[in-house]
Amino acid sequence: MIMTDTFYHFRDIRVAETPAPSPRAELHRELGRTLAELNEQVLRLDASDDQLRDYIQQARELKAAMAEQGQRDYGTTLRRLLDGEGTGDDVTDLVDFEILTGKASPLSPPLELWLEGDKVKGRGIFGLAFQGPPGRLHGGVIGLALDILLAKTQDFVEQIGVTGTLKIRYLAGTPLHKPVEFEARLIRMEGRKLICEGSVWVEGQQTVAAEGIWISPRGDYRLKPEYAELEAAIRA
Ligand SMILES: CCCCCCCCCCCCCC(=O)SCCNC(=O)CCNC(=O)[C@H](O)C(C)(C)COP(=O)(O)OP(=O)(O)OC[C@H]1O[C@@H](n2cnc3c(N)ncnc32)[C@H](O)[C@@H]1OP(=O)(O)O
């Protein structure tokens, strides 16, 4: 744990506004990237039986060595953040291992996210590990990416909720190995319901359209004061 004077609350964690990674977080990212590359490499690996047995042994040894280190506890990290006592490392621990977007997760391309005006934007290049139809991104992975993007429209509002409904219309295949652009924006808020939409683009062509409803378990959704100017946009 690095020493820090800055403490973070869970609600402070916004897309692309996370603290600079500590040296430890940078190393986790490098390890995650290396394992993601391994994940691509292992697909239909053209190795002999003896080589495969050797790789299995090496992988087991690596896993056993890591298991000796233990793992930092997610619940404890989240608790500190919910109490407003999280460190920068706690923030990166939370976001860096998220599926698809986490820079230290072997299950991420990674999908990069950022806020731009009234939109959440994303970009990623997906490899073979994410294939559905030949040469194309799996529709379920697109659904996952859109779930993540649309959920981040909650950065503009008070309250945080869960996915209630996510409707996806696949308009065209989304290719692997090319930059895929994602967009999401708020449409309106109705009490505890937040309605938003998303889209997926490749080389200027829209391949997917989505609509979502997020449900806040407690209070009503309302814009954060710093995003009050979005009122006009979401009512337009
Ligand atoms: C504190 C922070 C901690 C954070 C921890 C880390 C978070 C990380 C999160 C990562 C997340 C990653 C993302 C994930 O993976 S989220 C995981 C996938 N989603 C779920 O598991 C959700 C499961 N469902 C539920 O929990 C409940 O059914 C919910 C909470 C959704 C509603 O149950 P609740 O009892 O509260 O609702 P209500 O009956 O009082 O109805 C209220 C209003 O909502 C309307 N409605 C209801 N359901 C739906 C629906 N499905 N679609 C559209 N609308 C719906 C309903 O008509 C009514 O509207 P109206 O009639 O008033 O107009």
Q: pLDDT digits over 71-108, tens only?
A: 999 999 999 999 999 999 999 999 999 999 999 999 99
The finding on whether 147 has its CB within 6 A of some atom of ligand 1 is yes
Cβ atoms of residues 188 and 195 within 8 Å: yes
Helices (H) and strands (E) counted in the chain, each on its own, are: 6, 8
pLDDT tens sequence for the chain (236 residues): 444 568 998 877 877 678 899 999 999 999 999 999 999 999 999 999 999 999 999 999 999 999 999 999 999 999 999 999 999 999 999 999 999 999 999 999 999 999 999 999 999 999 999 999 999 999 999 999 999 999 999 999 999 999 999 999 999 999 999 999 999 999 999 999 999 999 999 999 999 999 999 999 989 999 999 999 888 877 65
What gap in Å lies between CA 216 and CA 96, rounded to an integer? Answer: 24
Q: Which two tokens stand for residue 6?
A: 């800055």
Mutational test site, ligand 1, from 14, 162, 211, max ligand atoms within 8 Å of CB = 162
Number of Cβ atoms within 10 Å of the Cβ of 153: 26
Residues 172-196 pLDDT 10s: 999 999 999 999 999 999 999 999 9
The Cα–Cα gap between 200 and 209 comes to 7
What separation in angstroms does the CA of 107 have from each of 7, 35, 97, 100? 28, 9, 9, 6
Strands 222-223 and 205-215: unpaired
Nearest CA, atom 55, ligand 1: 164
The first and second tokens of residue 90, run together, are 């706690």
Q: How far is CA 70 from CA 65, 67, 105, in A?
A: 10, 5, 17
> Is 160 a pocket residue for ligand 1 (Cβ < 6 Å)?
yes
Q: Considering only CA atoms, which of 210, 218, 148, 136 is closest in space to residue 180?
A: 136
CA of 214 to the centre of ligand 1 (A): 6
Q: Strand, helix or coil at 133?
A: coil
Residue owning the nearest CA to atom 47 of ligand 1: 164
Give the largest CA-CA distance in the chain.
Answer: 65
Distances (CA, A) of 40 to 43, 97, 217: 6, 18, 39
Residue 205: CB atoms within 10 Å? 10
What's the CA-to-centroid distance between 218 and ligand 1, angstroms? Answer: 10
Query: Residue 21 and residue 55: Cα distance in Å, rounded?
Result: 32
Query: What element of type H or E holds 54?
Result: helix 49-67
Domains of the chain: 1-101 (no CATH), 111-235 (3.10.129.10)
Distance of CA 176 to the CA centre of its chain: 18
Looking at the whole model, is its pTM more than 0.95? Answer: no
